[in-house]
C-alpha cells in the first residue's frame, strides 16, 4: 500500500455547533450517519461497517469545536478529524474534514465522505 496523503474537505451545515458536536463525538450520534454501529469504552471507539469493527482512539476532543480519531491499526501519522468551523460575521457553520488515504484512493474516499455528510445533513434535518 502506498504512503497515505492528507486531504481536507469542507461542508456547509445548517446546525448549531453544540448540536453538530454531539453527532461527532457521541456513539449514538455517530451511529446515525458515520458507521453502522459505534460503541465507546475508555476513549476507545469501535466503528463497525458491514460487520467489520475498527477501533479508533479519540485523541483530541474540544467541545463544540473539534474531534480527532486515530485508528489503532493504521499508519501512525494518519488520523481523521472533524472540525466545526463557524464564521464570525455570518455565524454560518461548516464541517471541516481532514483525512488520510493513499493517493490513488483519495477521490474514492472523498466520495465516501460526501455520502456520509449527506446522511449527517439529513439526520440533522438541516
- In this prediction, residue 126 carries a pLDDT of 60
Q: Which residues are registered as beta bridge partners of 70?
A: 57
Are 97 and 82 a contacting pair, CB within 8 Å?
yes
Pairwise CA distance, residues 73 & 94, whole Å: 29
| Backbone angles phi and psi of 6, in degrees to 5 | -80, 140
pTM of the entire structure?
A: 0.92
- Joined together, the cell numbers standing for residue 60 give 483530541
CATH architecture assignment, domain 4-124: 2-Layer Sandwich (3.30)
pLDDT in tens, 78-108: 999 999 999 999 999 999 999 999 999 999 9
pLDDT digits (tens, 9 = 90+) for 107-122: 999 999 999 999 999 9
Cβ pair 79, 69 in contact under 8 A: yes
Amino acid at each position: 500500500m502506498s504512503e497515505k496523503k492528507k486531504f481536507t474537505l469542507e461542508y456547509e451545515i445548517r446546525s448549531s455547533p453544540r448540536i453538530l458536536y454531539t453527532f461527532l463525538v457521541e456513539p449514538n450520534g455517530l451511529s446515525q450517519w458515520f458507521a453502522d454501529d459505534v460503541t465507546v469504552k475508555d476513549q476507545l471507539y469501535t466503528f463497525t461497517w458491514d460487520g467489520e469493527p475498527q477501533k479508533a482512539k479519540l485523541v483530541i476532543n474540544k467541545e463544540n469545536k473539534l474531534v480527532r480519531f486515530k485508528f489503532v491499526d493504521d499508519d501512525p501519522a494518519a488520523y481523521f478529524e472533524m472540525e466545526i468551523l463557524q464564521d464570525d460575521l455570518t455565524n454560518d457553520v461548516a464541517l471541516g474534514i481532514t483525512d488520510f488515504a493513499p493517493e490513488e484512493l483519495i477521490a474514492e474516499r472523498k466520495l465516501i465522505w460526501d455520502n456520509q455528510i449527506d446522511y449527517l445533513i439529513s439526520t440533522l434535518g438541516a
